[in-house]
Chains A and B, each alone.
Chain A
């Protein structure tokens, strides 16, 4: 569980996060949604410890990040996995090399133990056959799966994904979403996902936080988001014409 209390983050004169409080539960896919520029990435980077908020606190299962020593922070970092918006795979390494990397860096496991673990996660994301290829030689959807494999290879307690399905076709996007949700449940991970994809919201929105101008505007589940009267939320949800049409049909049917 991650508890965020009233965090503020600014860059120079621009206040990006203006006091956000939220709780993210274990084994659940938590979604952060909001328009481009609303501060989703900055928020996620605060959760990752890449940015330190000027005010407020973030606690990981009771461990307040600001109060941890350097070593404790490093240990905590190794409990986190991150899937970056652009996958961020290491170009110079094969698929297998990318997934092996954290194990090589941080564990004292034997070669065969590491190999076993890599095989296991590659199998989990269905990529065993691509193991010897380089990131430039596989599709965007496969790159995302490699990024997920790399993020979970160390058995993280916390998984963060920044727009994990941007730039993918709807079918592949759904596949990635479902994969993340399954993994979250299977390994009881606290997962936080940034997205502006309404499909993801409908697929895996067990808990949704809507950010607007650096503030938490709304919070709820995927069932609640279609019923809310909050103008900002409906404006966002129905900004896609398809959804607007679906809503009209739904309203007409009801009448």
Chain B
């Protein structure tokens, strides 16, 4: 068994291996960021459609589609969704990052939709009624009045979703994408030692999560200040 310092040397320094982690971390962050963006956009749309009702109170076709999307995505493993995206839907694409962004974004969208539904339902109904009473349409009132309040209400849950997303990208190694976990795994295979590379990757994930939480904390405080609450 190598000494700790030798292990460290092998895991990070020899053959400039640290570059592999940097590349992995970069890919992890890139996939997380774009998937989160896609997730928020898709999730917002899915949520709004999911809540849509016709005049007689029944679901619209858009509402059914949104409902099925949310239900199916939340009811199946992310790994399977990723493999289907890579091997079936985008089988002709060689761009692993793009495939991962799509798969994780579509996955995250379903969760964001549910989080946002909670946020919208926690906004006082009087807000919508006031908007409608002024002649604003339902969509306008949603956009300018209800959604901004809903997003603020579910800020902590959204942060949680982004943290989950970040960690979940660690399965993207399954399609051969060198994200952080896969990078650590490659080092392990090359050096026949596991502790240092995996510990190193874990520390990097942890630090990113901490930074993310910190930034969200600032953003949340800003929102509250501007709001005098």
To the question of whether A and B form a pair in one complex, the answer is no
Interface residues in chain B, defined as those with a beta carbon under 8 Å from any beta carbon in chain A? none
Interface residues in chain A, defined as those with a beta carbon under 8 Å from any beta carbon in chain B? none
